[in-house]
Amino acid sequence: MKFFIDTANLAEIREAYDLGILDGVTTNPSLMAKEGITGEANVRAHYKAICEIVDDKVSAEVIATDFEGMIREGKELAKIDDKIVVKIPIIKEGIKAIKYFNSEGIRTNCTLIFSAGQALLAAKAGASYVSPFIGRLDDISFDGMELIAQIVHIYQNYGYQTEVLAASVRHSMHLIKCAEVGADVVTCPLKVITGLLNHPLTTSGLATFLADHAKAAGK
Ligand code: G3P
């Protein structure tokens, strides 16, 4: 399973990259706004800075919601760096844009997926990734993980190449369950990844090893 980090914060991206297990980055307009990045030139420069940190796959979202606007913005984003994946919402115009970008060899990430039907349409249009939002479904008492499993199953039935990129991953158990049901990618904050490290028996076991070593060495 691939690990992407879901942030536009350069320090957090660097820290995740330094762990040596990072496969990519996803952003969205809210995450860019959180970093105070506004204006076309600043947005482009920020995406370039992200691309310079990581080895591959940086999702950059279009703001336009009409076909022409999405194509124009998506082409500009794709020009920033070969690592850019154009992120497009699952709306009617978005499906057309994904189809277009697919024919142009530009990778896309179809976002705001909340149903299997939406994921099916995105795959048929040729999206490179679909982003179903687990946490936001859980927030309203729908089972986000069930949706991930459903999409994985449907894509396997028909051999769709679209990768299931589980998004809105809020905690480490979400990530582990994604691995169990066969999501191709998870994107999440750094703390969800580092949370995988935690186990009280590891902490106490290491403390004992170090204490025993110090005692034997007469320290
Ligand atoms: O990037 C989309 C998604 O990961 C957002 O997550 O926590 O805002 O629902 P969240």
Query: Bridge-partner residues for 108, per DSSP?
Result: 86
> pLDDT-derived band of residue 219, with 50, 70 and 90 as boundaries?
confident
H-type helices in the chain, by residue range?
10-18, 29-34, 40-53, 67-80, 92-103, 116-125, 134-139, 144-158, 172-181, 190-194, 200-216
Instruction: Encode pLDDT of 55-70 as tens digits.
Output: 989 999 999 999 999 9
CB of 28 closer than 6 angstroms to any ligand 1 atom: yes
Structure tokens at 166: 């589980």
- Tell me the percentage of the chain whose pLDDT exceeds 90: 97
Which ligand 1 atom sits nearest the alpha carbon of residue 26?
1
Average pLDDT in the 18-22 region?
Answer: 96
Query: What dihedral angle (degrees, nearest 10) is formed by the CA atoms of 93, 189, 58, 64?
Result: 30
If one residue of 5, 7, 28 were mutated to test the ligand 1 pocket, choosing by the most ligand atoms within 8 A of its CB, it would be 28
Q: What is the pTM of this model?
A: 0.95
CB of 162 closer than 6 angstroms to any ligand 1 atom: no
Residue 94 phi/psi, 5-degree rounding, is -65, -40
Report all structural domains of the chain as residue ranges with CATH numbers, in order of start: 2-216 (3.20.20.70)
Q: What is the pLDDT of residue 218?
A: 87
3-state secondary structure of 133: strand
Element (H, E) at 159: none
